[in-house]
Amino acid sequence: MERVKCLIIGSGPAGYTAAIYAGRANIKPVVYEGLEPGGQLTTTTTVDNFPGYPEGVDGPQLMEDLRQQALRFGADIRSGIITKAELDKKPFVVTTDEGTQIEADSVIISTGASAKYLGLADEKKYAGEGVSACATCDGFFYRKKVVAVVGGGDTACEDATYLAGLAKKVYLVVRKTYLRASKIMQERVLNTPNIEVLFEHNAIGLYGEKGVEGVHLVKRKGEKDESYYDIPIDGFFLAIGHKPNSDIFKSYLETDEVGYIKTINGTPLTKIPGVFAADVADPRYRQAITAAASGCKAAIEVERYLTTL
């Protein structure tokens, strides 16, 4: 069986940054890129808020740059998915989707989280053309335009408020009769004149010739009384939560109720020495730059840990 000093699972900004640091430390990390090589940023257009790119950079280009930088320092980047991780033995044993088993002295979990979508076919159809799950990434492109945000939690309220500072009008589409968000966020939304909250509404489709031009809504007044109508919008933002990609680790590591891995005192250390959690431990910031930082921290911890073996 192949044995590696450091196995990095996931290839978003966290995974590649961990690979850059571990590579420079001569650890020769092996990276498994996972289901979505390059991670969530490969599904976005321009990234304006990653330091170092004064003119912005395309998401896929940014990820390719990080990948190349990791390769320069000797990272062994492989396509493939880790489907099983046995973290109760040393060395750890991971299994790929092709059934290959690898022994690893240390593991960095940088599998991140995936934004949840409603599951409408139109979300895929208009991906990158008016549909976004990241208001801070894409809001800038909707200055003086009309957008809809779906969701009723803190993220949705925060996104709606943020977008209201840019867009002409924001519709907040909430499926219940109330907002689940904290009181202060609710008040902020309800006191912002250019946000209109549509309670008891569901988005059931999008339309438009060149990207999103409107949303089909249904207002549920009762079981038998549903009314359908359309509103013109330029952008459709999902804010209905994220799902951390932590399922295969859950039997070994503690997670919060959503699935983010719990770490020790804000470090990437988990309760298993040698296993480090990067972006998959962050329910709060979820930005490319904070993910990159989490990968950096995890790689530094790996370096320290390997000297103790």
**Residue ranges binding ligand NDP (CB under 6 A):** 118, 150-156, 158, 175-176, 180, 240-241, 283
Nearest partner of 145 among 175, 107, 171, judged by Cα: 171
Q: Tell me the closest approach of the beta carbon of residue 150 to ligand NDP, in angstroms.
A: 6
Catalytic choice (6, 105, 137, 157): 137
Q: Minimal distance in Å, beta carbon 297 to ligand NDP?
A: 21
265 Rama sector, left if φ>0, alpha if ψ -120 to 50, beta otherwise: left
Among residues 35, 54, 204, 199, the alpha carbon closest in space to that of 123 is found at: 204
H helices of 46-120, in order, are 59-72
Pairing of strands 214-222, 225-232: antiparallel
Give the shortest CB-203-to-ligand NDP separation in angstroms. 8
Pairing mode of beta strands 235-238, 131-132: parallel
Task: Give the E-state strand segments of the chain in sequence order.
Answer: 2-9, 30-32, 46-47, 57-58, 76-78, 82-86, 92-96, 101-109, 113-115, 131-132, 146-150, 169-173, 195-198, 201-207, 214-222, 225-232, 235-238, 242-244, 275-277
Output the smallest distance, CB 67 to ligand NDP, in A: 28
DSSP structure string for 168-192: SEEEEE-SSSS--S-HHHHHHHHT-
131 CA to centre of own chain: 15
Query: For residues 63 and 280, which CB has a smaller minimum distance to ligand NDP in the complex?
Result: 280
Between 279 and 301, name the residue whose CB sits nearer to ligand NDP: 279
6 among known catalytic residues: no
Closer to ligand NDP by CB, 77 or 240: give it. 240
CB atoms within 10 A of CB 258: 12
Is residue 95 a contact partner of residue 82, using CB atoms and an 8 Å limit? yes
Q: Which is nearer to ligand NDP, 135 or 302 (CB)?
A: 135
157 is known as an active-site residue: no
Choose, from 6, 105, 122, 134, the residue flagged as catalytic. 134
Is the Cβ of residue 229 or residue 285 nearer to ligand NDP in the bound state? Answer: 285
User: Among the options 6, 105, 122, 138, which is catalytic?
Assistant: 138
Minimal distance, residue 304 CB to ligand NDP, in Å: 31
Q: How far apart are CA 251 and CA 254, in angstroms?
A: 8
Quote the DSSP letter at residue 298: H
Distance of closest approach, residue 217 Cβ to ligand NDP, in angstroms: 12
Q: Say which amino acid occupies 238.
A: L
**Residue closer to ligand NDP, measured from CB, 146 or 218:** 218
The question of whether 138 is a catalytic residue gets the answer yes
| Residue number of the CB atom closest to ligand NDP | 153
DSSP, res 127? B
Q: What is the DSSP letter of 32?
A: E
Question: With respect to ligand NDP, which residue has the nearer C-beta, 64 or 200?
Answer: 200
Shortest distance in whole angstroms from residue 174 CB to ligand NDP: 7
Q: Hey, which residues are catalytic here? A: 134, 137-138
